[in-house]
């Protein structure tokens, strides 16, 4: 996938952010990896473009990478709790998120609920402290 001002324009971005992109990178014509490396584009703008251009499988893969990059923060604080890691490891094994079986959906839901409960448990404990 190539990203440039024509592609971004077709996504109907807000004027200010599009003008910033054109001003800073008028001749940019690159892939998503190169776009994500641009220093004068905010992370929220990069994500905005990415979610509009990525397929579901690419978007889930990117989400897994993002979550995986901060998992160490949780595990450093709560090394015995493997629920978030179990969810991410399972998600990494799935090849096609567009064609999940009902069994896969149930397993993802159960692992997601467990990971969410882990986060809530520790958030509640932090709030009480």
Digit-coded pLDDT (tens) for 5-52: 999 999 999 999 999 999 999 999 999 889 999 999 999 999 999 989
CA angle 41, 67, 24 (to 5 degrees): 5
Provide the pLDDT for residue 1.
84
pLDDT, residue 70, reads 94
DSSP lists the bridge partners of residue 29 as 4
Report pTM: 0.74
Is 47 in a helix, a strand, or coil?
Answer: helix
**pLDDT confidence of residue 83:** 97
Query: How many C-beta atoms lie closer than 10 Å to residue 3's C-beta?
Result: 23
């Amino acid at each position: 996938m190539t990203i440039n001002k024509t592609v971004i324009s077709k996504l109907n971005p807000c004027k200010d952010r599009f003008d910033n992109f054109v001003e800073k990178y008028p001749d940019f014509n690159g892939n998503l990896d190169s776009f994500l490396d641009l220093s004068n584009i905010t992370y929220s703008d990069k994500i905005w473009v990415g979610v509009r251009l990525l397929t579901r499988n690419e978007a889930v893969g990117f989400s897994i990478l993002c979550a995986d990059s901060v998992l160490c923060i949780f595990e450093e604080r709560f090394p015995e709790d493997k629920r978030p890691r179990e969810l991410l490891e399972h998600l990494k094994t799935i090849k096609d998120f567009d064609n999940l079986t009902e069994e896969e959906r149930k397993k993802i839901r159960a692992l997601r609920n467990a990971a969410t409960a882990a986060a809530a448990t520790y958030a509640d404990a932090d709030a009480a402290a």
